[in-house]
Structure 1
Amino acid sequence: MGTIGLFLSGATLFLNSLMLLGKANGKSVAVFNLFIGTLQVVTPFYLILVSDQSSLSIFNYGVTYLFGFTFLYFGVITLKGYDGNGLGWFSLWISIITIVYAIVAITRSQDVLGMLTWIHWSFLWLLFFLTMTMKKAIDNFVGMVAQIQSWLTLTIPSLFSMLGIMEITWIRNLLIGALILSIFIFIGSAWTLRKKTAINAGPVHN
């Protein structure tokens, strides 16, 4: 996905995180999702059309559709008030596909940063499945994960790329460290949420 695509996806995911955290209106956020989703469906279609049509080009450009259709799907169901079950199943499918991208990043390019980024996105799409299809009451947790990822995996890397400093070794290592640290933060938050849920459920009496 291109630098501008990453940048705008960061903005979209940031707004979506605020909605999940109850700090932004769902319908107003949905409109922005439609804008960016449309852009990220039309753009890769054109890029593939004018590319060399190699399997690698299609593989690289095709990933933008994952974001584009997710944003479009989310925008429509939020504006229309539809149930998110279908988007949840679509998110599960994407979660599996992004693991393939993570494997390709590390095996083909030895790109640790890329691998970690794809793992992060796979986890987020899995959370969308859990909350939309499995109906888990984890909106605040998903919102927290989405907000962190909007900066660490999208906004900051795209800004660094536009500034021409993304390939500096210490910059990449700093981002790798931040992504690894955030994984531990997610694990700790999930464990705390699980304990809190168990306490609130209380003992079962016959």
Structure 2
Amino acid sequence: MGAIGLLFSGGALFLNSLMLLGKAEEKSVAFFNILVGLLQVITPIYLIITSDGSNWSMFNNGAVFLFGFTYLYLGVTILKGFDSSGLGWYSLWVSMMAIVYALVFYVQENDVVNALTWVLWAFLWFLFFLSSALKKPYDNYIGRVAFVQSWVTLTLPSLFMLLDLWQNAKLQEIWTFVCIGSMIYFVIEAILFAKSIKKEKLVEELV
């Protein structure tokens, strides 16, 4: 995915995180999702048409559709008031595709940062599946995960790319630890979130 696509994906995910945390109105966020979704559907079509047609080019450019259709699906679902179960099951499928991308980047390219990034995205899409398809009340936790990922996996890497710093070996090493640190934070937050839910249930039972 190109740097500009990553940058605006970061913006969309940032707004989505605020929406999940109850700080941004749904329909206004949905409109931006549609704009970014259109960008990330039209762009890969052009890139595929103008590419060399190799499997690797198709594999890389095709990844952008995973984001584009997610943003479009989410935006239309909110604006039209559709049930989110279809979006949730689609998110599960994308989560599995993201794991495939992570494995390919790690095994084929020995690209640890890209592999970890795809693992993080797979986790986020899986959370969307739990929330949208299985109707789990995890919005607050998902909002926090999405907020961190909007910066760690999208916004900041895209800015580094635009500044021609992303391929710096030292920065790649640092970002490996940033990704791992994010994963540890998500685990800690998940444990705390689970404890808070358990506590709320105990209070409800006592009342």
How far apart, in 2, do the equivalents of 1:7 and 1:20 lie? 20
2:54 corresponds to which residue?
Answer: 54
1:98-132 CA-partner distances (Å, limit 9, x unpaired): 10000001111110100100000000000000000
Aligned residue number for residue 192 of structure 1: 192
Q: TM-score, normalised by structure 2?
A: 0.96
Q: Secondary structure at the match of 1:82?
A: coil
Paired residue for 2:173? 173
For residue 83 of structure 2, give the secondary structure of its aligned residue in structure 1: coil
Cα distance in structure 1, aligned partners of 2:183 and 2:81: 33
Query: Separation in 2 of the partners of 1:81 and 1:178?
Result: 37
CA distance in 2, matches of 1:196, 1:32: 32
In 1, Cα distance between the equivalents of 2:195 and 2:25? 30
2:47 matches 1:28: no
1:76 match: 76
Over the matched positions of the two proteins, sequence identity in percent amounts to: 50
1:193 is displaced (CA, Å) by 1.1
How far is the alpha carbon of 1:173 from its aligned partner?
1.4
Matched residues in 1 for 2:160 and 2:105: separation? Answer: 19
Write the deviation string for residues 37-67 of structure 1: whole angstroms up to 9, x where unpaired: 0111011111111111111111110000000
Q: Which amino acid aligns with 2:188?
A: G
Unpaired segments of 5 or more residues in structure 2?
Answer: none
Please state how far the C-alpha of 1:133 moved relative to its aligned partner. Answer: 0.7
The residue number in structure 1 matching 2:7 is 7
Give the Cα–Cα distance (whole angstroms) in 1 for the partners of residues 20 and 173 of structure 2: 30
C-alpha distance in 2, partners of 1:9/1:135?
25
Q: 1:170 Cα deviation (Å)?
A: 1.6
After superposition, give the CA deviation of every residue in 1:124-170 in whole Å (9 maximum; x if it has no partner).
Answer: 00000000011111101000000100000000001001101111122
Q: CA RMSD in A?
A: 1.2
Write the letter of the residue equivalent to 1:159. L
Amino acid at match of 2:87: L
AA in 1 matched with 2:128: F
- Mapped to 2, the partners of 1:174 and 1:130 lie a distance apart of 31
Alignment of 1:75-154 (within 5 A): 75-154=75-154
Letter in 2 for 1:147: F
Matched positions, count: 205
TM-score by length of 1: 0.97
Which amino acid in structure 2 is aligned with residue 43 of structure 1?
T
CA distance in 1, matches of 2:75, 2:125: 16
The letter of the residue matching 1:135 is K
CA distance in 2, matches of 1:140, 1:124: 13
